Structure 1
């Protein structure tokens, strides 16, 4: 297996000078509890490999957001897929590597401090493992980027305090994933459920995207983003799925003609309706009804 430690296209990394850590982090009561020593992002990190027989001087968090990788901590092996992460305690033998065929994209942080052992103990009590999984959250990535961008601007006392006070929030987002960003999660779920109910109530109409967004008091862009994140589909496409679902019921349980069914769904052009139905169901409305009869 080919192995290399760095050199991935698009990689980013900051190694904080150890003199800065000793002078401005470990003695500072605001951030001495937990502070970053190294931070980085490796996209599509083919052949990425690290092995430390005697462990690291810091704890290590690796978050896999794309691709795959593997790790061994002490003598236990772990497979990492998108959404998985590992936290490796300092001083513990380990190695990890990107998958050869689908190399991972990872966000990583090395950190230390006088409360970090307690943080890791809490994580291991919750997971009984060095590995965990989280749902993807834009806010988690934005928090990482915020910390990284501030460190890119240098090591002023304000920068170091801000970044390392954010670090505990970042770590908490992994350890308490169910609690993290719960207000936005709740809003997203409630908003999308309300909008789907609105679609069902207006299944006989053609609703513009703007009207859908207005029904839940959101901008078009924010609504579309929330909706696709929750359902996997753009709102209009999802609405068309509901229309086809209703059309299937008409075809199964009524004798309405195809044009009448299209009219009941607010679609003026029966040929457009037939194309939309066929694209989703894999057969025409007529064939669907014939299959039902047979």
Structure 2
């Protein structure tokens, strides 16, 4: 096997100076998590690193294209596109690019008070050192932004920005579905559509039949899927939204209880008060007095 530690066409790499790392180690909030080395290696043919006793930093490599391999005390693992490897500090390891289809990688070494926590999170509590994280353009832009930030110097502002951005970057690998859904809102299902309808008609008394009709479902089918997703019947859920809104009126306005009841489409203020007490555990007047 031909081995090559560094030097790939189009590569980028920054190693933070020792004095800057000392600043990072003792300056909140940077000392919670900070990068010591960062880079990008495209088509890194013959890339090879062997560290029999590990290193003091945690190592993260995100494979964009091609393949590579990781060897740690727990075994040898293949690294495919859209997978990352994580090596905790002080763990003996070897990693290398596949000879036929060498990997293209984004990588970083990191330390800090919370570094071991993130290493545990990324490795599924040190049980899986190679994991999948589907490609997201936003994640790559975040990495590039951190790299460019270092290129502009090591001011405290730059160090804080890179530290907090890197925590977000690691979180995007650990919680892929949450990161994806936060960026790309999924299409609303019938329950979401129904809840939106409820929110737009808090001032009205809406029947179960009306709610089901709005999403073109029978009452029984609608009630079944609504309860399955939310844990509540549609009318109970609707009442919870009304009371949630009532709480805001009580806390932030001087409207009387009967006026709030009327605003929520409930003509009987005594019925409103009973419903409020049942849901909140105290009467509307008691709630207002407590908040004030």
TM over 0.5: yes
Q: List alignment gaps of at least 5 residues for structure 2.
A: 189-292
**Distance of 2:31 and 2:12 partners within structure 1:** 25
**Distance of 2:182 and 2:155 partners within structure 1:** 33
**Distance of 1:136 and 1:125 partners within structure 2:** 20
SS in 2 for 1:26: helix
| Structure 2 counterpart of 1:174 | 173
**Distance of 1:73 and 1:127 partners within structure 2:** 11
| Structure 1 counterpart of 2:86 | 87
Aligned residues of 2:86 and 2:123 also touching (Cα < 8 A) = no
In the alignment, structure 1 residue 11 sits paired with structure 2 residue 11: yes
Aligned residues of 2:39 and 2:108 also touching (Cα < 8 A) = yes
**Distance of 1:18 and 1:11 partners within structure 2:** 22
**Distance of 1:63 and 1:124 partners within structure 2:** 13
**Distance of 2:15 and 2:77 partners within structure 1:** 26
**Distance of 2:160 and 2:121 partners within structure 1:** 24
Report the Cα offset of residue 127 of structure 1.
7.8
**Distance of 2:155 and 2:95 partners within structure 1:** 33
**Distance of 1:106 and 1:70 partners within structure 2:** 12
**Distance of 1:157 and 1:104 partners within structure 2:** 34
SS in 2 for 1:32: helix
**Distance of 1:21 and 1:181 partners within structure 2:** 32
SS in 2 for 1:101: coil
**Distance of 1:183 and 1:165 partners within structure 2:** 18
Q: List alignment gaps of at least 5 residues for structure 1.
A: 191-294
In the alignment, structure 1 residue 112 sits paired with structure 2 residue 111: yes
Query: C-alpha offsets along residues 99-138 of structure 1, whole Å, 9 cap, x if unaligned?
Result: 0010000000000001111222233336831111011000
Q: How does 1:142-153 map to 2 (within 5 A)?
A: 142-153=141-152
Report the Cα offset of residue 180 of structure 1.
0.8
In the alignment, structure 1 residue 48 sits paired with structure 2 residue 34: no
Report the Cα offset of residue 184 of structure 1.
2.6
Aligned residues of 2:84 and 2:130 also touching (Cα < 8 A) = yes
* Consecutive aligned runs of 4 or more in structure 1 exceeding 4 Å deviation: none
Change (3 A) 1:177 1:127: farther
SS in 2 for 1:14: strand
Alignment length, in residue pairs? 188
| Structure 2 counterpart of 1:286 | none
**Distance of 2:3 and 2:141 partners within structure 1:** 30
Two-structure CA RMSD over aligned residues (Å): 1.4
Query: C-alpha offsets along residues 260-283 of structure 1, whole Å, 9 cap, x if unaligned?
Result: xxxxxxxxxxxxxxxxxxxxxxxx
Report the Cα offset of residue 32 of structure 1.
0.7
**Distance of 1:85 and 1:14 partners within structure 2:** 20
TM superposition score normalised by structure 2: 0.62
TM superposition score normalised by structure 1: 0.62
**Distance of 2:95 and 2:35 partners within structure 1:** 20
Aligned residues of 2:120 and 2:126 also touching (Cα < 8 A) = no
